[in-house]
A and B are shown apart, each in its own frame.
Chain A
Amino acid sequence: MLSINNCQIQIEGGLITLPNITLEKGELLVITGPSGMGKSTFLHWILGDSIRHANISGEIMLNDVPLSGVNIEQRRIGLLMQDVHLFPHLNVLDNICFALPHRLKDEQGSKLSRPQRKDTAMQMLSKINMGYVAEHYSHQLSGGERSRVGLVRALANQPQALLMDEPFAALDPDTSANVSQWAFSQLHERGVPSIMVSHDLNNIPSQAQHLDLANYFQQV
């Protein structure tokens, strides 16, 4: 469960006071709002990244553990951006292996070997019928394929929550609709609470929560 309480975003010319947010397993929150209102900055704050253009305060709890003072690499929060930034020197399979937790164990409780890790990554790809891109490099993938692989990689890390910053904005409308529906079902299946910044409310599942930052903005 991801909860954000008493959150205030101070941007140039105003203050946004958010209502308390609680996301149970598999739930999705979509954040919208005009440009410059700090949507992406808000995501980076949750991630634990250093913030430059705004002041944000509030408490973040992930599975009842407060995250203040915890650095990015220990938060277990995934990030998916518009450009998914697959690492160019690794192929798709190795990109996913890179994200699999270091201490991943098999059924006997021993640490996975190199071939086992590759098998695990391959299974994840095959599950979504994308085994054919395993040996491909980032520049050999289409936009839709890249987005799918990006999500698989993010999920391979077994995040406790996922943040998405307009992840499907660069795709054409049809692909965007397909990939986003697939992505939301994956997140729901795996019970990962997610927050997504988007301009497009067309392909959002009906049960998703929605927060328009403009509604909470006060001029100062």
Chain B
Amino acid sequence: MNNRLLAKSQLSPSNQLYSAINLGLKSTAWVLVAIIALAPLLGVVIGLWPAVELDWAAISRFLGYNGLAYSVASTLLLSLVAPLIALYIAFMVYSRYRFNRRWQSLEKRLAPLLSLPHLAVALGLVYLFSSGGMLWSVLWGFIGQTAPEWLGLPRKSMLTMILAISIKEVPFFLLIFSAIGRQLAIKQWLLQGRALGYSENASWWLIVFPVVLKQSRLAVLAAMAYTLSVLDISLLIGPNIPELYAVVLYNWQTGFTPDEQTFAFLGNLLLIAMLGVLIACIYIHERLVTKQLANHAVMANPLNITWLSGVFTAWLGFFSLLTLAILATFLLWSLGWNTHSTFNTANWSISLWQDEWFFMQGPLLNSLHIAFFSSLLGVGVTLLALELQRHNKRYFPDYLWLLAILLPQLSMVYGWQIVHTSSNASYHSSWIILSHVPFTFAYSYLVLRGPFQSLNRHYELVAASFGYSPWQRWWKVRFMLLRPALLSAIAIAFSVSIAQYIPTLMIGAGRVATITTEAVAIASGNEQSITAVYILVQAALPFIAFLVASILAQRTRGSVDAEHQ
């Protein structure tokens, strides 16, 4: 008998009981973590299980659906182009900011900028730049004229969608680059590049970009999967005839006729196939670009075009200004501005806020309690997932934990909806909370993994040498040091939950109204002033969460936070 077995056989009954409890707890924890992390995949798989009888006639009716090919093609184009534009802009911004003093202020402002909901950016662009939008009205108002129609951004079009998504995703990619950049010797590479005669801009593209591009695969996929199945902004600012594919699919999924049910199933298959196409495009794009840049590197091409990066020195100012302009526009609309008024003629009043407050309280309270519980649960399960992996001394690849943001939301929630309806479950908000947890979990994991893994284990070693038990060490050392990062993670998870539209609508069957579902419902109509009130409240909630988190983080002394791992 070897020593280990000998030691095991000599355990006292109480120790055996302790080990059994420990093993039971650990297994339960793994099951819980696996359920949350794999729920998106489960949803997709269930959605792919044919719930209806299929025959060739149904398939050919599906394939012949009016405008389907155009809808699919335009959605693929949008999902490919908008995230890539954001990726390139983010890289140029990163290259301009990384090694100068403005980097600190950019890093500090990234999370709040990221928290501005997509819906606010999308509608904000329309309110500002469409014909009759605030910007043109103000500019042309000075000369007493009306802005020409052609100047305005179309209210519903591909261009508006591409603009909204590519502008909104830039802070997301900056956050990812910031994390990737910490692991790379960028400064030394640039120095080498310059010592070999390349300009700094050319060095960024020839040396840094290929490496960063490879490491950003998951982030690009997340942005593409989001764009592929985003419903709320597709409904409001996407093209109308034909609509973007997410809208078409959602209409089938919520339809009652047998044909619609069949189309919903086939449409879901098609959505997954579209995701496959996008994944292939990510690899093809990466291969083409790295090959092209390697060619330039071999030919020592000075890449003079890279002066273009210089334009993005002004990005932080531009984005901050745009955010402020969007918020100011909504505020003015909510206080009485309209397309026909000027500053002098508008009937300024807060009566709309007073009137709407009565209708808003219910959705607001729903939003708050759903976001509060789902963010705490999401962050809690993230800590559990990280801790279990640390115990196992092996971390699973990121994509397993980030499935909720890598798979199309419409497919996974469709599967959850099938389970939810077939189990005759109620439409209580607790189900909505559960449906938000996979998303709050994925984003918390994205934010917390770095600080958790890079926490110096010597702190706990020192605590152990003082006689602290593993639980005490975890609570008094690890948890305390992670507090600033945890606060950031909670704020991000909270914002993610506030902005959720598809799960809230589909699992709640429209019976649990939140600020976001109300905002989309009202924005679908013509009441621009009321929409402005709801969008402002929707944008304010994450902002308040970040403000509270940053105030609390300043009051805690921790060595590791989400921004400085």
Contacts and interface: CB of A to CB of B under 8 A. Distances in A.
A27 to B, nearest CB: 20
Contacts of B300: 97-102, 104, 117
A78 B189 contact: no
A87 interface: yes
- Report the 8 A-B pairs with minimum CB-CB distance, sorted nearest first: A102-B300, A97-B298, A72-B194, A89-B210, A79-B195, A98-B297, A85-B188, A73-B194
Contacts of A97: 297-300
Interface string A69-104: 001111011110101010111100010011111101
Given A77-B195, A85-B192, A117 B298 contact: yes
Contact of A94 (B194, B200, B298): B298
Contacts of A101: 197, 300
A110 to B, nearest CB: 14
A118 interface: yes
B196 to A, nearest CB: 5
18 contacts: A72-B195, A73-B194, A73-B195, A73-B196, A74-B197, A77-B195, A79-B195, A81-B188, A83-B188, A87-B189, A87-B207, A87-B297, A90-B297, A98-B297, A99-B300, A102-B197, A102-B302, A114-B295
Nearest to B213: A89
A198 interface: no
Interface in A157-174: 157
Interface string B280-318: 000000000010001101111110000000000000000
A47 interface: yes
A98 B207 CA distance: 10
B196 A99 contact: yes
A98 B206 contact: yes
A89 B192 contact: no
A79 B191 contact: yes
B286 to A, nearest CB: 11
A89 B299 CA distance: 16
A49 interface: yes
Among B198, B295, B300, B302, find the residue whose CB has the most chain A CB atoms closer than 10 A: B300
Interface of B: 185, 188-189, 191-192, 194-200, 206-207, 210-211, 214, 290, 294-295, 297-302
Contacts of B298: 94, 97-98, 114, 117-118
Nearest to A104: B300
Given A100-B300, A101-B197, A90 B192 contact: no
A89 B211 contact: yes
Interface majority SS (helix, strand, loop, mixed), chain B:
helix
Contacts of B302: 102
Nearest to A79: B195
A73 B200 CA distance: 8
A78 B185 CA distance: 18
Contact of A49 (B191, B198, B214): B191
A218 B139 CA distance: 65
Contacts of A104: 300
Among A49, A74, A85, find the residue whose CB has the most chain B CB atoms closer than 10 A: A85
Nearest to B198: A73
Among B197, B198, B200, find the residue whose CB has the most chain A CB atoms closer than 10 A: B197
Among B185, B195, B199, B211, find the residue whose CB has the most chain A CB atoms closer than 10 A: B195
Contacts of B196: 73, 78, 98-99, 153, 157
B511 to A, nearest CB: 53
B283 to A, nearest CB: 15
Contacts of B210: 89
A218 B6 CA distance: 68
B560 to A, nearest CB: 25
A85 B185 contact: yes
Given A73-B199, A88-B211, A89-B211, A102 B299 contact: yes
Interface string A137-165: 00000000000000001000100000000
A153 B194 CA distance: 13
Contacts of A102: 197, 299-302
Contacts of A79: 191-192, 195
A86 to B, nearest CB: 9
B189 A157 contact: no
B294 A89 contact: yes
Interface string A33-60: 0000000000000010100000000000
B204 to A, nearest CB: 12
A77 B199 CA distance: 14
A94 B293 CA distance: 11
A101 B211 CA distance: 23
B291 to A, nearest CB: 11
Nearest to B99: A50
